[in-house]
Amino acid sequence: MTASGQPVRTCRAAILQQSSAPLVVDEITLPESLAPGQVLVRITLSGVCGAQINEIDAVKGPDRFLPHLLGHEGYGEVMDVGPLVRSVAPGQWVVLHWMPGAGVQADPAGYRWRGQRLNAGWVTTLSEFTVISENRCTPVTTSVPLEYLPLLGCAATTAAGVIGRDAQVRLGESVVVLGTGGVGLLTVEAARASGAHPIIGVDRVAERLSAADAMGATATVLTSAAPPATEATEGRIRTALGGAPPDVVIETTGAREMIELACRLVAHGGRTVLVGVPRHDEPASVDTLPLHFDTIWTGSKGGGTQPQHDIPRLLRLAEAGLFRLTGLPVTRFPLAEVNDAIELVRTGLPGRAVVDPWAG
């Protein structure tokens, strides 16, 4: 229901109609009623995450669900709830996230577009309204500016979880972050907040490295994602660390050469956490010998985030200035310009792009 009490029947949304093609912004029809465990949310803002670009590019392989909706981090107001929903209520403000939290996991909503079924997952956010599963939204009350709240659905919680859970960074350990996009910059901040030192940011875009400096990197390295540039990059990273191997390497790009570099850098008890998702048809080639000498490589699934616990904790830290979420550069776009936002993220926009479905 809308604020006037009228049911929501249609809204504008960004639709992935074809892989590796621009999104289509068009009117869609929402389900006539909410199924058990479903929640209707009016989206205030949605983040543009690298995972959505991977979906657009079919990085994991051919997309079997076309056409479908996108977006997995957002913020908005609950308008209505279906049967069995207990953790949220109409009128509450919620962060929308892709990792499951408290409540029911409902069936994905079924939308209609141009006379055909339009698919969606348990959460989508690039639309004016969305119908999501109860366990994909967490109620929040906070003084943090609203443009940063969508980041708690993925970027911020992933970064904190990667540092705290996956890498288990200890006070005074050295951390190298390969890729300083939105997740990478917040990983730099999470490392700083955890007492890591030194912290090295690595990226191919100088503006992103400037943002990494501001977020707490003690040194930065400009690179290219292709050999032999990665060999020179490795040397510059080791120089910045005083010749010692890093304790922790976080790889956020998913580029094959960067994954290989991440695994080469660590040794003798060092840990590499792979956050970026590689293309299904570009496998990395690595020497596994270090694994026999207490070296650890692991993949991350959203930093093991537990949204119902982690989102309130990060908000408390952000309000106290201990986790500098609001230090991240954020650029806002109307929904009609979502493809411009995606293209700028691809080409190195510092920080995060967020989409306002009601602007313009």
pLDDT tens-digit readout, 74-126? 999 999 999 999 999 999 999 999 999 999 999 999 999 999 999 999 999 99
- Per-residue pLDDT at 360: 77
Q: Do residues 183 and 250 lie in contact, with contact meaning Cβ atoms separated by under 8 Å?
A: no
For residues 185 and 203, give the distance between their C-alpha atoms in angstroms, rounded to a whole number.
11
Q: Is 168 helix (H, G, I), strand (E, B) or coil?
A: coil
Domains defined along the chain, listed by start: 10-139+329-356 (3.90.180.10), 155-303 (3.40.50.720)
pLDDT, mean of residues 316-335: 98
Q: Is the per-residue pLDDT at 8 higher than 90? A: no
Q: Give the separation between CA 215 and CA 209, rounded to whole angstroms.
A: 10
The edge-to-edge listing of strands for the beta sheet with 24-29 is 68-69, 10-16, 24-29, 111-113, 116-118
CA distance 261 to 274: 11
pTM: 0.95
pLDDT at 311 over 60: yes
Secondary structure (DSSP) of 238-252: HHHTTTPPPSEEEE-
Rounded Cα distance between 50 and 252, Å, is 10
Q: pLDDT band for position 163 (50/70/90)?
A: very high
Which residue in the block uniquely carries the two structure tokens 């030192």?
A: 197
User: How far apart (Å, rounded) are the C-alpha atoms in residues 154 and 131?
Assistant: 18
Max Cα-Cα span within the chain? 65
Contact 173, 336 (CB under 8 A): no
Distance of CA 135 to CAs 73, 80, 116, 132, 196, Å?
13, 15, 27, 8, 33
On the question of pLDDT at 260 being above 70, the answer is: yes
Q: Can you give the pLDDT at residue 101?
A: 98
Determine the average pLDDT of the residues in 50-65.
Answer: 93
Burial class (CB in 10 A: 0-12, 13-18, 19+), 260: middle
